[in-house]
Amino acid sequence: MAQNIRMEGVSHTPTDPAVDGVAFTGSADVTLSVNARSVYIATDGNLEITMVGGFHGAGSRITFTGLKGGQIYPFAFSKIWDAGTTTSGVALI
C-alpha cells in the first residue's frame, strides 16, 4: 500500500538549506506532498525514485544503482519506490 507523507515547512527555494525531513522505512512506496530536494542514505545500495519533471515534463521513474552509504545525494524527487530500493537508513530531505 502506498504511503503519503506531508513535509511541513519545507523550503521551495533550491538554494535554501533543508528545514525538514522524513525517514523512509522501506515498508511501502512513499508519495510526497512536497518534493524532496535531496536524500541521505546510510548504507550502500540502490534507490528507486520518481524524479521531479524536467526534460519531458512529468518526472521519470529511475533506479540509481551502486550508491555509497553515508552520503547526501541532490536528487529532486516526488516518490520513492520500495521495490527498487535496497539501501537502508534513508532520510528524505
Half-sphere exposure of 58 (CA within 13 A, CB side): 2
Residue 71 inside a domain? The answer is: yes
Between 71 and 25, residue with greater pLDDT: 71
Q: Three cell numbers at 92? A: 528524505
Q: How many CB atoms lie within 10 A of CB 27?
A: 9
Q: How far apart are CA 55 and CA 72, in angstroms?
A: 24
Q: Three cell numbers at 68? A: 555509497
pLDDT of 9 higher than 70: no
Give how many domains the chain has, as a whole number. Answer: 1
> In which domain, by residue range, is 52 found?
21-92
| pLDDT value, residue 27 | 76
Residue 13 inside a domain? The answer is: no
Residues 28-85: tens digit of each pLDDT: 888 888 888 899 999 999 999 999 876 666 788 999 999 999 999 999 898 999 999 9
* 35 Cβ contact list (under 8 Å, min separation 6): 52, 76, 77, 78
